[in-house]
Structure 1
Amino acid sequence: MKVVAFNGSARKNGNTAILINIVLGELEKEGIATELVQFAGEKIRGCLACMKCWENKDQRCSVNNDILNACIEKMIEADGIILGSPTYFANVSTELKALIDRAGMTSIANDRMFSRKVGAAVVAARRAGALHVFNSINHFFFIGQMIVPGSIYWNMGFGLDKGEVEKDDEGLNTMKSLGENMAWILKKIHGK
């Protein structure tokens, strides 16, 4: 079993990555392989609405000049997918939105190829707006017919400066519980 996580933050190894890594740590304790892909420094364009994914049906986006198709390949191979984003103006980062739109459209065009994978949102916020980010990510999972585990609270942690989220005990415990629940679901699905 494997879970791939995508950090949509412009800051590599910032608060969003810290929260994702707590979830990944719990998965690894349960023997589940993990991988973290960070979008910091990457330029990922949005969907062109060209509909070529519906024509080609090759599990790829027709835009081929960024890392998006490599991300889609990782999502196809994985049993679980984590999407993490900081809260930018009460929404997901631009890069994560591009992944959601393009991977989502490609998935639907290819018989909902992410169906029944386990998906989890991880959100970092300074103060507010995080619930909308959490919902936006979960909408991707739900429309893709994915399985979404819960936690002890919404999957978010709070902090502004890099590392500040580590002071949010409730957020850290939420991520730990999310990792445990995601591992439990993956093991049940795979008969372990």
Structure 2
Amino acid sequence: MKVSLVNGSPHKHGCTNRALEEVARTLAEQGVDAEIFWIGAKPIGGCVACGGCNKLGRCVFDDQVNEFRQLAAHADGFVFGAPVHYAHAAGSLLGFMDRLFYANGRAGQPNVFAHKPAAAVLSARRAGTTASFDDINKFFTISQMPVVSSRYWNNIHGNTAEEIEQDKEGLATMRMLARNMTWMLRCIEAGRAAGIEPPAMDPDMEFTNFIR
């Protein structure tokens, strides 16, 4: 089993990464492979609604988004982490996820996210974590992904990676998140071995909006 963790901070070794390291270390202790993917320090724009992914099966902007999607195909679970900027998750991560999830499963390519457990992790100096938590979780709930919880919201506090060490409860929350992720992955694995298949899509699914 393997979990891919995404560091959506512009700082490769900052607070968000420290939180993800705690999750990754605990996953490894549970026998689960864990790999942290850094999206980089350059600005990442969101989806421009060009429709190119419907033809290519990937985003037309060939950057970290397409690179991570290839890795995601071989992962069994995900953790997306971000710092809080102005009481919302960092814009670069949201742009990254916009394109990643929108291009997923297009043009006959496999859906690499459906039915795989996922979790959000947020870091902040002080506030805005729960609003940012909601930002990221919405990607999972529209993508048929079971959301993994901890014993508290998956938040950690500090202004530097060194300060994170003082948030003992936050670090414990990260460890509990990893153990819950492991438990859910093992449950899914056991179900698959018992012949339990993922739920089928509704063949009569019809997309509507509010004016028709």
Does the TM-score normalized on the shorter chain lie above 0.5?
Answer: yes
For residue 8 of structure 1, what is the amino acid of its counterpart? G
What runs of 5+ residues in structure 2 fail to find an aligned partner?
Answer: 194-212
What SS class does the counterpart of residue 89 from structure 2 fall into? coil
Shift of 1:108: 5.6
CA contact (8 A) 1:44 1:68 kept: no
- Corresponding residue number in structure 2 for 1:19: 19
CA RMSD of superposed structures (Å): 1.6
1:137-163 Cα distance to aligned partner (Å, 9 max, x none): 110111111011111100001111232
Distance 1:156 1:44 in 2: 23
Q: CA deviation at 1:81?
A: 1.0
| Higher radius of gyration, 1 or 2 | 2
Structure (1 or 2) with the greater helix fraction: 1
**Which amino acid letter does the alignment assign opposite residue 128 of structure 2?**
G
Match of 2:7 in 1: 7
Deviation at 1:94, TM superposition (A): 2.0
- What percentage of aligned pairs have identical amino acids? 37
Counterpart of 1:171 in structure 2 is 170
Which whole-Å deviations, capped at 9, do the CAs of 1:127-181 have from their partners, x for residues lacking one? 1111111111110111111011111100001111232111111111110100000
Per the alignment, in what secondary structure is the counterpart of residue 47 of structure 1? Answer: coil
TM-score, with normalisation over the residues of structure 2? Answer: 0.84
1: CA distance, partners of 2:10 / 2:91:
9
C-alpha distance in 2 between matches for 1:162 and 1:25: 16
After TM superposition, the score normalised by the length of structure 1 is 0.92
Residues 1:124 and 2:126 are matched in the alignment: no
User: Structure 1 stretch 154-163 or stretch 172-181: which is displaced more?
Assistant: 154-163
**Are 2:38 and 1:35 equivalent residues in the alignment?**
no
List aligned pairs for 1:43-54, cutoff 5 A: 43-54=43-54
Please tell me whether the aligned partners of residues 86 and 128 of structure 2 are also in contact (alpha carbons under 8 angstroms). Answer: yes
Aligned residues: 189
Q: Which amino acid aligns with 1:55?
A: K
String of CA shifts for 1:75-100, please: whole Å, max 9, x gaps. 22211111000001111112211121
Once the two structures are superposed, residues 98-147 of structure 1 have per-residue CA deviations (whole angstroms, 9 ceiling, x without a partner) of 12100110126457431001101111011111111111111011111101
Specify every segment of 5 or more residues in structure 1 that has no aligned partner in the other structure, as ranges: none
Which of 1 and 2 has higher RCO (CA within 8 Å, sep 6+)? 1
